[in-house]
């Protein structure tokens, strides 16, 4: 279940049976988070829906690094600090961009000071019909048109992510690469760097998704685009969560399968009344 902190809804290490739908800013979002099906361990992912005003919101997904202690604590602590800093910044008169950057810096310091774990984070700032993406690590943000055009996709901060971006690897090779999960930029590092994307216009029927590895390791980007581009958000989110679970639980020849925590936020602008 979501908890409330000021006007931020936080999903911290959740185990959701169904996606949760929320009206936010000038649109609506569905949230889903569930631990990996193959291990008796806590969900190391977290997500946040930050309500700012009737036209603006900030969405975030954090994926605590597995393989080292404290992944859940890192993602939960980072998003709690980040959300609080963004809310206070905007309420104090700062702009969204400044508040987000301050929030990411504060979250990085908080994780460093805690001495527990590291985490990625992907952030989408949405105001009316425009979006700007910020990210640290390999959690992804994609902007998809109704007809299936991939309008924007963040580049994973990893050797494999950079190799795909440069054309040295194709996506099929990247999906099974032995170093796919080596991440070169995280919250909880003195060398953390924030990548800021361009401001993009959102069409009425565009879809935005923020996702952790549980989604990205089990659906190639073309399949993910096709899964989210049309249909009611509730149905889209339910179908995506079930596809990820099926891929993880019952591997099939020719399909990717990598059990992991699965977290996503899917946003669409609210269509104007005719």
Distances (CA, A) of 63 to 96, 102, 183, 186, 193: 23, 20, 11, 10, 16
Q: Average model confidence (pLDDT) for the chain?
A: 91
| pLDDT of residue 258 exceeding 70 | yes
Between the CA of residue 145 and those of 14, 151, 200, 227, what are the distances in Å?
29, 7, 12, 12
The answer to whether position 121 is within a domain reads: yes
What's the CATH number where 106 sits?
3.60.40.10
Helix (H) or strand (E) holding 51: strand 45-53
Q: What is the DSSP string of 77-120?
A: HHHHHHHHHHHHHHHTT--HHHHHHHHHHHHHHHHHHHTS--EE
What band does 167 get if pLDDT is binned at 50, 70 and 90? confident
Whether 218 maps to a domain, the answer reads yes
CA proximity to 139, closest of 123, 117, 163: 123
**How far is CA 95 from its chain centroid?**
22
The predicted model gives 220-236 an average pLDDT of 96
pLDDT (0 to 100) of residue 3: 43
* Per-residue pLDDT band at 159 (split at 50, 70, 90): confident
Whether 272 shows a pLDDT value over 70: the answer reads no
- Domain assignment present for residue 87? The answer is yes
Which pLDDT score is estimated for 273?
59
For the chain, what is the largest distance between any 2 Cα atoms, rounded to a whole number of angstroms? 54
Q: How many residues does the chain have?
A: 274
> What tens digit of pLDDT does each residue of 2-49 get?
443 448 999 999 999 999 999 998 899 999 999 999 867 789 999 999
- Look up the domain containing 122 and give its range: 3-269
> Is residue 274 in some structural domain?
no
> Other C-beta atoms within 10 Å of 245: how many?
17
Number of domains in the chain: 1
Q: Which bin fits 231, alpha (ψ -120 to 50), beta or left (φ > 0)?
A: left
Whether 17 is in a domain gets the answer: yes
- Give yes or no for a contact between 136 and 187, defined as CB atoms under 8 angstroms apart: yes
Does residue 251 form part of some domain?
yes
């Amino acid at each position: 279940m979501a908890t409330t902190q000021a006007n931020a809804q936080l999903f911290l290490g959740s185990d959701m049976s169904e996606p949760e739908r929320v009206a936010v800013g000038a649109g609506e979002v569905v949230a889903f988070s569930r631990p990996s099906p193959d291990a008796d361990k806590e969900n190391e992912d977290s997500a946040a829906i930050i309500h700012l005003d009737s036209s603006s919101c900030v969405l975030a997904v954090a994926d605590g690094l597995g393989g080292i202690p404290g992944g859940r604590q890192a993602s939960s602590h980072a998003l709690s600090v980040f959300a609080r800093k963004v809310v206070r910044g905007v309420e104090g008169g700062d702009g969204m961009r400044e508040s987000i950057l301050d929030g990411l810096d504060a979250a990085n310091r908080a994780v460093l000071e805690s001495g527990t774990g590291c985490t990625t984070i992907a952030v989408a700032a949405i105001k009316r019909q425009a979006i700007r993406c910020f990210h640290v690590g390999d959690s992804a943000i994609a902007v998809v048109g109704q007809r299936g055009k991939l309008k924007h996709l963040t580049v994973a901060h990893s050797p494999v992510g950079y190799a795909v971006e440069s054309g040295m690897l194709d996506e099929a090779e990247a999906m099974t690469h032995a170093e796919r999960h080596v991440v070169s930029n995280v919250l909880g590092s003195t060398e953390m760097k924030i990548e800021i994307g361009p401001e993009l216009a959102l069409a009425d029927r565009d879809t935005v998704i923020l996702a952790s590895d549980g989604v990205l390791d089990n659906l190639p980007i073309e399949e993910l685009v096709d899964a989210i581009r049309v249909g009611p958000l509730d149905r889209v989110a339910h179908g995506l969560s079930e596809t990820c679970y099926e891929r993880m639980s019952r591997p099939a020849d020719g399909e990717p399968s990598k059990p992991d925590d699965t977290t996503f936020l899917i946003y669409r602008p609210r269509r104007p009344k005719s």
